[in-house]
């Protein structure tokens, strides 16, 4: 892995609530050990990514393999650490960059580099928390921040994403991993037709769609709304019934 050196690990951690859950404790310790002690650049899925001091790259598949902890438990643990303000997360459609909050408070050598790293880490953590603070969206209730969006062709903008979550909340349609996975398949099809994820989710918001199929968008099978498609089908069915009646009267 290329990791060298050591980290500070105070015994007081044993008095902290994080040590009461073996999965949580294992994840927290692993993140402390894998967090960068200085800024580096790494190629990840073909993209050059800057990983700053106190940060690490996190992907559910990779971390399930290296820790032996299931993806479901990893999501739960990571969400709890975020909610408690112990980590920040900047999500992309390929991975997440985790920022250990107050990393330099416990790992600093007192150098100027450490102070600069702390400021940058806080800035990245703040960006990772931004989506949680979008106006009128309570993601704790929905749990959308703990889901895996890696199969989506791209992530939507914060405002569109927030509006989509709010619409689903209003319609009492939960956002689950199954929902995210089903949307991923259709969003990939729509992306291949020149539509962005923002285009698709915006249409869902405007038309109050809790489900989604690429063919519902203009440029698919000619329907921009599933209700319009159903209406046309109903009209054809009624015409067929009228024709049957005429035939029986002859």
In this structure, the dihedral spanned by the alpha carbons of residues 150, 99, 166 and 182, taken in order and rounded to 10 degrees, is 10
How far is it, in rounded angstroms, from Cα 131 to Cα 247?
A: 62
How far is it, in rounded angstroms, from Cα 199 to Cα 220?
A: 13
Overall average pLDDT of the 50-74 stretch: 89
Q: State pLDDT tens for residues 96-129.
A: 889 898 887 777 754 444 344 444 444 454 444 4
Q: Quick check: 64 pLDDT over 60?
A: yes
Rounded to two decimals, the pTM is: 0.44
How far is it, in rounded angstroms, from Cα 2 to Cα 43?
A: 15
pLDDT band at 130 (very low <50, low <70, confident <90, very high): very low
Q: Nearest to residue 99, comparing CAs of 75, 69, 120, 80?
A: 120
pLDDT band at 209 (very low <50, low <70, confident <90, very high): very high
Mean pLDDT of the chain: 77
How far is it, in rounded angstroms, from Cα 62 to Cα 29?
A: 16
196, 189 Cβ separation under 8 angstroms: no
How does DSSP assign 41-83, residue by residue? EEEETTEEEEE-TTEEEE-HHHHHHHH---HHHHHHHHHHHHH
> Can you tell me whether residue 112 is helix, strand or coil?
helix
Predicted local distance difference test score (pLDDT) of residue 12: 79
53, 38 Cβ separation under 8 angstroms: yes
Q: β-pairing, 40-44 with 96-100?
A: unpaired
> Can you tell me whether residue 98 is helix, strand or coil?
strand
Lowest mean pLDDT across 69-73, 93-97, 147-151: 93-97
How far is it, in rounded angstroms, from Cα 174 to Cα 142?
A: 7
Express as a percent the part of the chain with pLDDT over 90.
25
Predicted local distance difference test score (pLDDT) of residue 141: 42
How far is it, in rounded angstroms, from Cα 4 to Cα 217?
A: 52
């Amino acid at each position: 892995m290329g990791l060298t050196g050591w980290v500070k690990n105070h015994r007081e951690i044993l008095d902290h609530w994080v040590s009461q859950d073996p999965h949580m404790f294992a994840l927290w310790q692993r993140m402390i050990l894998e967090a960068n002690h200085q800024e580096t650049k790494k190629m990840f899925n073909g993209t050059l990514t800057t990983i700053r001091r106190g940060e690490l790259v996190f992907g559910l598949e990779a971390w399930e393999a290296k820790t032996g902890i299931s993806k479901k438990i990893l999501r739960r643990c990571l969400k709890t650490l975020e909610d408690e303000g112990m980590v920040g997360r900047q999500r992309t459609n390929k991975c997440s960059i985790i920022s250990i909050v107050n990393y330099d408070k416990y790992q600093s050598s007192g150098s100027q580099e450490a102070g600069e790293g702390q400021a940058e880490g806080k800035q990245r953590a703040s960006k990772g928390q931004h989506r949680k603070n979008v106006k009128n969206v309570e993601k704790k209730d929905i749990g959308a921040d703990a889901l895996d969006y890696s199969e989506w062709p791209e992530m939507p903008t914060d405002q569109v994403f927030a509006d989509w979550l709010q619409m689903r909340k209003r319609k009492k349609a939960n956002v689950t991993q199954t929902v995210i996975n089903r949307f991923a398949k259709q969003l990939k099809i729509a992306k291949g037709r020149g539509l962005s994820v923002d285009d698709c989710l915006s249409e869902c918001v405007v038309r109050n769609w809790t489900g989604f199929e690429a063919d519902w968008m203009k440029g698919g099978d000619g329907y921009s709304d599933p209700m319009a498609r159903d209406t046309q089908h109903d009209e054809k069915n009624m015409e067929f019934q009228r024709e049957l009646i005429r035939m029986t009267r002859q």
